[in-house]
Amino acid sequence: MPDVVPEALARLERVEPVLCAFHEVYSSFAPVDPSLPLAGMPIAVKRGERRSHREALTALGCVPIGLTTTPDGSTPWQTWGRNSRGLTRNPWNLSRTPGGSSAGSAVAVAAGIVPLATGVDGAGSIRVPAAWCGVLGLKTTSSERAAIGVFTRDPSLLAIYTGTSEVSSPTAVWSADLGFAEVDDEQARIARRAAEALRPQHVDLALTDPAGDWFANRCGPNPVLDELFETTDLLLTPTTPGPPHGHDGPGARINTSLTWAFNLSGHPAISIPAGFDSEGLPVGLQAVARHGREADLIAAARAVLTSSAVEVAPWPP
């Protein structure tokens, strides 16, 4: 077993009693070919996700150390995750949710247990917890509403995960609300400041609120987005309309209002750490790209995370 795996397990043992990010922790590990690109890297796996996704990462040399928490039959959806020890908690403020449904995976990366964790994004289920936990969260191109992806702090790991060697310099446009969402001024301001690393042009985008299509299970091309991506590489928005809420739920707010349109259209998207709000809670910048252009999302993450305008700090502070 590689040395870094015991380090991850030791870190997990220290923080898990408080954060409750893991549904199950493994006690035995298969040997790893040291020639593989991610040989010996400990990862966390979202409980219930596709087996093929986990196998693709183990083929790169990753070592799964456990299954992360998600909502279950005993968990009101507002709390997003729990295990036998209690609710899954946001590392930056234990009274707040990490978001979901890939709750434990986001927390495992944010808390420094593992450098990479898997997720499934059904309506923002990777991007929302990535934003609220202050990590990168990538949703890949998909012809289905639910897309696979990962959490990490390191854009170079995204490049290995996607098999991307291209270095791109994408053009970008900015929309604070997609033309319909109600977004807190502070979320929009912090995300817009981070977006400056990509020098976006403002666009008067007017998407239709996707709620109707979502609940009618209508997926497919979005003519407005298709036209937009004829002239730009990236669409930038805040990831969420507001900060992480308490464990009692968000009330009437739709926290996926800025993310779920891209599950319906299948576009790849990423949440990038944009800084912190006035309460010290992470804020995310969302970037959306053309189908199959994950390389542009990775380029966006690199540009933002190396910008002097963005305050990026790992947990604990």
Q: Is the pLDDT of residue 265 over 80?
A: yes
What residue spans define the domains of the chain? 4-162, 172-305
Of the residues 27, 28, 35, 46, only one is catalytic, namely 46
- Return the amino acid letter for 176: A
Contact of 101 with 122, CB cutoff 8 Å: yes
Percent of the chain whose pLDDT exceeds 90: 85
Give whole-number Cα distances, 49 to 113, 188, 216, 262, in Å.
20, 32, 24, 20
The pTM assigned to this predicted structure is 0.96
Out of 3.90.1300.10, 3.40.50.720, 3.40.50.1370, 2.30.29.30, the CATH code matching 4-162 is 3.90.1300.10
Catalytic-residue membership of 101: yes
Separation CA 66–CA 47 (nearest Å): 9
Query: 294-305 vs 155-162: helix axis angle to the nearest 10?
Result: 170
Q: Which entry of 35, 84, 95, 101 is annotated as an active-site residue?
A: 101
* Catalytic residue selected from 105, 125, 175, 271: 125
Q: Is the model's pLDDT at 47 over the cut of 70?
A: yes
Mean pLDDT over the full length of the chain: 94
- pLDDT band at residue 76, thresholds of 50, 70 and 90? low
SS3 assignment, position 236: strand
